[in-house]
Amino acid sequence: MIRKIIHIDEEKCNGCGACATACHEGAIGIVNGKAKLMREDYCDGLGDCLPACPMDAIHFVEREAAAYDEAAVQASKRKKQAEAAHAAHAGGCPGHQMHRFQREETAQAAAPAAQPSQLGQWPCQIKLVPVNAPYFQGAKLLIAADCTAYAYANMHSEFMKGKITLIGCPKLDAVDYTDKLTEIIRGNDIQSVTIVRMEVPCCGGLEHAAREALRASGKFLPWQVVTISIDGKILDR
């Protein structure tokens, strides 16, 4: 049948996964770093994924496609819920699962000198910081997940030094930071934005909020995303 269905422009897609999260039917997945329509019959044509895409990579087209199959969608949801319940019993989502890391102790001739903090302002929580604080003028902005400073040993010297640091956890705060970050970026002379997140899926909310804020601000700023593994390594930057 000819019907309205989404089309994903893989050239524009940055693989952030925001569309997959927004799709309540589970029609979209991430394959080789790109969003992909996995099941035509799962796409209801309502387009919840369109506004979630920070790259404007998703549009409607009318073409030959399988009809929307609500029964299949509901069956898939029940299966995923059962799998999630099993995962919770086995240790929960990746962000909750327990790990113990074995660190090698290296002999040192003398105790290392204490390193000075590189925190450039207070408060630093996204929820608490005023959007018009004077230290935002001319600032290089670091938006970091709460856990990154504990996981990555050189967080202060490598990422926080010379920047204004904002921290948050969308899972614990249960809030969307997009609007506040948009106000900060739009209303101040921000020079660049660095996003440092953990590898766990829940950190995707922080990255998505920062990306959306950059887009909504109407500014074109240098920016990058750095992902830290749970055992303290840089996975990509």
* 40-69 pLDDT tens trace: 999 998 888 998 888 899 999 999 999 999
Query: 221 with 140, same domain?
Result: yes
What pLDDT does 168 receive? Answer: 94
**Four-point Cα dihedral 54, 55, 61, 63, nearest 10:** -110
Q: How far apart are CA 158 and CA 49, in angstroms?
A: 35
pTM: 0.60
Whether 165 is covered by a domain: the verdict is yes
Domain count across the chain: 2
Give the pLDDT score at 18: 85
For the purposes of burial, counting CB atoms within 10 Å of the CB of 100, is it exposed (0-12), middle (13-18) or buried (19 or more)? exposed
- Residue 58 domain flag: yes
Residue 184, pLDDT score: 96
In a domain, 82, yes or no: no
- What six digits make up the tokens of 203? 């950190």
Domain with 25 in it: what CATH number?
3.30.70.20
For residue range 176-196, list pLDDT tens digits in order: 889 999 999 999 999 999 999
139 shares a domain with 66? no
What's the confidence (pLDDT) of residue 76? 86
Name residues of the chain where pLDDT drops below 70. 83-112, 237
Q: In what order do the strands lie in the sheet with 234-236?
A: 164-168, 140-145, 192-198, 223-228, 234-236
Same domain for 139 and 229?
yes
pLDDT at 112: 65
pLDDT of the residue at 94: 56
Determine the structural domain holding residue 204 and report its residue range: 134-236
The CATH number that applies at residue 167 is 3.40.50
Q: Is residue 63 part of a domain?
A: yes
